[in-house]
């Protein structure tokens, strides 16, 4: 009996770490498996902004204990990119015309979140394709050719976080050099799964295409816009994206105003899954309409 008790105790001690790891993986599965409905469907943008830092730090804490959990890396890459855009860079943008110093400080802070998101996306891809981290910047085309449709979620947030980081300071040679890499990553995502996540890739390309080398960027942006709106007409974001990437660039004030008004006309209740995204886009549209004189030359 004593021997059996000793064996049982030894077994519990030896498997204790395994039991803890199983529990941590289960928590990581739960935290990273949802679509974020409780966040994206909430109508109070400020409330979500206040809650997200705690949620992200909690997931980071769990992530450190499950270093090979790929989906947790994906959730953190997505979460930090979106938090940086909506709750750090956007508030900074609103200071641009009144307090340029505070605006730049906000961009620097946002870039920190994009860098963090990029690290999680890269780590996740490196877990799926060992060695990819050391090759991505030096053999970009070769690495991207190896990617499959299964890699699109992590690949998208890798490109999106790089793109967002680069746009915070295009005067920085390092950031400027990231633009073509980010564009290649997003373009590869589009090749692999053009309609992924309700047209999220196309939505980025609405903003990106007119900035790429070569002719036809505005036309391609319009095509992506049409495709996204055909998939879900109750989105405000694509209207704002096309206004800024095509209409503003062409200094077509009438088209710009018309697109922003289309964004404002979207009924938030028609697409419960995207209330947060639509609310953000409408707030941005309203702000831009208030600053037309800063955006267009008479």
Tens of pLDDT, residue by residue over 2-34, are 566 555 445 545 555 565 454 444 444 545 555
- Predicted confidence band of residue 172 (pLDDT cuts 50, 70, 90): confident
d(CA 166, CA 233): 30
* Res 94: pLDDT: 92
* Res 29: pLDDT: 55
Res 285 pLDDT > 60? yes
Q: Is the dihedral of CA 15, 16, 17, 18 positive or negative?
A: positive
* Res 65: pLDDT: 84
d(CA 114, CA 279): 22
Tens of pLDDT, residue by residue over 204-259, are 999 999 988 778 899 999 999 999 999 999 999 999 999 999 999 999 999 999 99
Of 30-34, 115-119, 143-147, the range with the lowest mean pLDDT is: 30-34
Res 37 pLDDT > 60? no
Q: Please name the residues in contact with 15: beta carbons below 8 A apart, sequence gap of 6 or more.
A: none
| pTM reported for the whole predicted model | 0.86
- Predicted confidence band of residue 278 (pLDDT cuts 50, 70, 90): very high
Res 276 pLDDT > 90? no
Res 35 pLDDT > 50? no
Tens of pLDDT, residue by residue over 50-91, are 888 898 998 898 888 888 889 999 999 999 999 999 999 999
Domains of the chain: 39-193 (1.25.40.920), 195-298 (1.25.40.920)
* Res 36: pLDDT: 47
Angle between helices 275-290 and 253-265 (to 10 degrees): 140
* Res 8: pLDDT: 47
Of 174-178, 215-219, 277-281, 284-288, the range with the lowest mean pLDDT is: 174-178
Given phi > 0 = left and psi -120 to 50 = alpha, else beta, which region is 66? beta
d(CA 228, CA 266): 15
Res 133 pLDDT > 90? yes
Q: How far is residue 191 from each of residues 132, 144, 185, 186, 212, measured CA to CA in Å?
A: 19, 11, 10, 9, 16
Buried b (16+ CB within 10 A) or exposed e, 99-138: eeeebeebbeebbebbebbbbbbbbbbbbebeebeeebee
């Amino acid at each position: 009996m004593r021997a059996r008790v000793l064996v049982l105790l030894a077994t519990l001690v030896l498997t204790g770490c395994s039991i803890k790891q199983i529990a941590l993986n289960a928590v990581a599965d739960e935290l990273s498996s949802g679509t974020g409905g409780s966040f994206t469907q909430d109508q109070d943008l400020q409330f979500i902004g206040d809650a997200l830092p705690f949620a992200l730090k909690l997931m980071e804490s769990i992530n450190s204990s499950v270093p090979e959990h790929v989906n947790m890396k994906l959730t953190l890459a997505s979460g930090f990119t979106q938090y940086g855009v909506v709750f750090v860079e956007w508030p900074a943008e609103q200071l641009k015309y009144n307090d340029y110093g505070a605006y730049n400080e906000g961009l620097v802070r946002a870039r920190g979140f994009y860098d963090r998101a990029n690290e999680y996306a890269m780590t996740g891809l490196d877990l799926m394709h060992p060695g990819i981290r050391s090759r991505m910047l030096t053999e970009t085309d070769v690495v991207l050719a190896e990617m499959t449709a299964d890699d699109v979620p992590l690949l998208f947030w890798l490109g999106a976080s790089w793109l967002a980081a680069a746009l915070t300071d295009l005067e920085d040679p390092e950031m400027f050099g990231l633009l073509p890499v980010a564009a290649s990553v997003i373009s590869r995502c589009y090749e692999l799964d053009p309609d992924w996540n309700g047209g999220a890739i196309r939505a980025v390309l609405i903003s990106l295409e007119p900035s790429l080398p070569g002719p036809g960027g505005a036309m391609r942006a319009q095509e992506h816009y049409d495709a996204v709106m055909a998939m879900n007409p109750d989105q405000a974001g694509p209207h704002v994206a096309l206004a800024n990437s095509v209409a503003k660039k062409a200094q077509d004030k009438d088209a710009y105003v018309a697109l922003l008004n289309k964004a404002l006309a979207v009924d938030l209740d028609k697409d419960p899954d995207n209330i947060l995204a639509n609310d953000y886009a409408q707030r941005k549209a309203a702000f831009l309409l208030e600053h037309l004189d800063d955006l267009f030359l008479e």
